[in-house]
Structure 1
Amino acid sequence: MYKIKVNTSHQFEVTTKDTEALDAIESTTNNFHVLQNNKSVKATILSSDFNTKSYTIKVNNNTYNVNINDALDQQIEALGFEIGASKKVNNIKAPMPGLILEINIKVGDEVKEGDNLLILEAMKMENVLTSPREGVIKSVKVNQGETVDKNSLLIEFE
C-alpha cells in the first residue's frame, strides 16, 4: 500500500495491484502515454528525488508535486519518528532493483548534499540518486551497465 500526496492537498492510497493494472507506456525518456478510463493522458516526470520520495510530474500541461510513502515510511510516521538532519548516512543502497545507467562520481570525490551520484533505471524510469549529505566517496560498489537488486550496496561514504 502506497500513500500518495499530490500538491500537499490531495491524498490517495494505491495498492500494488493498482500499479500493476496501470496502462502506461514510456514513449521517450521520462515521457509516458497513459490510458485511464479510455482517455489518453500524457505524463512527463520533470524531476525526482529518491531521498525525499518526491516527484514533479506534468500531466496534460498541469504540473503536480507528488510525494509517495511506502509501508516503511508509514510505519515510521505512525511511530512519530522522522528522518532528521542529524542522521549520518554512511552508504547508499539501491531503493529498488534496476540497471545502473550512469555513475557521476568516483572514489575520493567530495560531494555536497543534493549532488547527483548515479542514475538507476527501474520500472522504465530513470531515477537520479542524490547525495543525502556532504562527504567524501569512500567506494563505489557498482559499475555502469550493471544490474542491481533492491538494497544492494551502491556507494560508501568516508
Structure 2
Amino acid sequence: MKSFKFKVHENNYHVTLLSHEGNTIELEVNGTKYEVQLQEEVKTTKTPTLVRSASKRPVEPLKVNPSSKKTKILAPIPGSILMVDVKVGDSVKVGDRLVQLEAMKMENNITSEKAGKITAVLVSVGQKVLQNEVMIELE
C-alpha cells in the first residue's frame, strides 16, 4: 500500500502498510511484519471546527440615555426575528415588548427601557440580525 520513512532518536525506520481492514492494520517495519489493532476508528471531518474563546468581560445590559431624544434598540445577540409587536407611530411605555428574537433555540423578548413613540422599524419577521444591529428607533 503505502511506504513511509521515520527517524526516531537517530534510528531510521522503513514502514510499509500492507493491509487495512476495519480496526486491524498489517504493516512491515524494517522487514518485520506486525499486525496492530486500532483502539477506535479514526474519523476525519471535512469541515474544520471553529472554536471561539469565551468573552473576557460579562455581557452588559442595554442602557438607554433618558435625556437623549432618539433611542436605538439594538439586537443583544445574533438571531432571527420571530415577531415584531410594534409599527411606526405606536406609543410604547417601559417594559412593552417590541420584538421577539430567536437565538440559540431560545425566544428572547426585547422590551422597551424608555417610553416613547416608534419612529422606525428596521426589521421584519424571519429576518436574521447580527449583534448590535439596530432593530427599532424611538423618540
TM-score by length of 1: 0.47
- Residue 101 of structure 1: aligned partner: 82
Mapped pair 1:71 → 2:52: no
1:122 matches 2:97: no
Q: Which has the higher strand share?
A: 1
Aligned to 1:71, the other structure's residue is in SS state: coil
Which consecutive unaligned segments of at least 5 residues does structure 2 have? Answer: 1-52
Q: Identity across aligned pairs (percent)?
A: 43
Question: RMSD of the alignment, in Å?
Answer: 2.6
Separation in 1, partners of 2:77, 2:65: 23
| C-alpha separation in 1, matches of 2:106 and 2:59 | 22
- Cα distance in 2 for partners of 1:72, 1:143 equals 26
**Taking structure 1 as reference, are residues 153 and 85 closer, same or farther at Cα in structure 2, changes over 3 Å only?**
closer
Residues 100-143 of structure 1: CA distance to partner in whole angstroms, max 9, x if unpaired? 00000000000000001010000110000001110000000011
Aligned AA (1:71): P
Map 1:20-35 onto structure 2 (within 5 A).
Answer: none
Provide the C-alpha distance between the structure 1 equivalents of 2:97 and 2:71, rounded to a whole number of angstroms.
16
Select 2:121's aligned residue among 116, 135, 140: 140
The unaligned stretches of length 5 or more in structure 1 are 1-14, 18-69, 77-82
Distance 1:126 1:84, change over 3 A: closer
Name the one with the larger helix percent: 1
1:16 aligns with 2:54: yes
Does residue 151 in structure 1 map to residue 127 in structure 2?
A: no
Q: TM-score, normalised to structure 2's length? A: 0.53
**CA-to-partner distance for each residue in 1:62-115, whole Å, 9 max, x for gaps?**
xxxxxxxx5353xx9xxxxxx587464611011111000000000000000000
